[in-house]
Amino acid sequence: MSSEPTVKSILLGTKSDGTLTPVLVDTDGNLIAQLEASPTIDIGDVTLLAGTAEIGKLAAGTAIIGKVGVDQTTDATTNAVNVLPTSGAAANTARTTATKVLAVQHVDAVGNVLSASPVLGANAVVPTQITKTVAAIATPEALAADGTFFQTATIIAKKAARTANTGIVYLGIGATNDTQALPLNPGDVYEVNAPVGQKYDLNDFYLDVATAADGVVIIYS
């Protein structure tokens, strides 16, 4: 079996039409092959020496070119590789578009928005305190406006935070005089709790007084 010739150099030859074409010459100066635009000859392994000159660009295709080393001299600079998505610039633009963020609100068991965000290890619901007084006797009034919902309410028989009532006040359901069945002496405390997962409305509770301008302090949440 004859050994394959060793390439010594690549020269430029002149074709019959006057154009130049690369040719391969062995160590003895013999012509090995002529490089054409559409070659069919395998020239074997070629080692490219280190340098800065460009050797041309690789045309698009499906051929595998083997392993490629990446310069690791400067991280994120000489070894930076930018890979675009398959759909090109359009997909790249879509990727950098601001991400949509959904607003999140914390709600209780029945869907009511809480006034504060839950915090682990802390009470997320901030109670509300109001004072309700009744101007005249025999004219029961609702404890608060319609839609004042609560899970728990503490009702204190005082006309102000630190001022005791003069007489008894009466608490109950309904606006008709003398139908409020629960008597509260000055300073008494009464607590109302709605069933789990439900809420009451302070507007459904009415207060009647034996002495004008007496009332209650209500702390609810």
Helix (H, G, I), strand (E, B) or coil at 166: coil
Instruction: Find all residues with CB under 8 Å of 63, minimum gap 6, and list them.
Output: none
What whole-number distance in Å separates Cα of residue 130 and Cα of residue 216? 9
Of the pLDDT bands very low, low, confident and very high (cuts 50, 70, 90), residue 28 is: confident
Count other Cβ atoms within 10 Å, centred on residue 180.
21
Q: Long-range contacts for 16-20 (Cβ within 8 Å, ≥24 apart)? A: none
What's at 65, amino acid-wise? I
Average pLDDT, the chain: 77
Per-residue pLDDT reduced to its tens digit, 2-26: 565 665 556 556 666 766 677 666 6
Secondary element (H or E) of residue 91: helix 89-96
Tokens of 121: 């290890």
Of the pLDDT bands very low, low, confident and very high (cuts 50, 70, 90), residue 124 is: confident
pLDDT at 167: 98
Residues in the chain: 221
Of the pLDDT bands very low, low, confident and very high (cuts 50, 70, 90), residue 61 is: confident
CATH 2.60.120 range(s) for the chain read 128-220
Query: What's the pTM value of the predicted model, to 2 decimals?
Result: 0.47
pLDDT at 3: 60
Q: What is the CATH number of domain 128-220?
A: 2.60.120
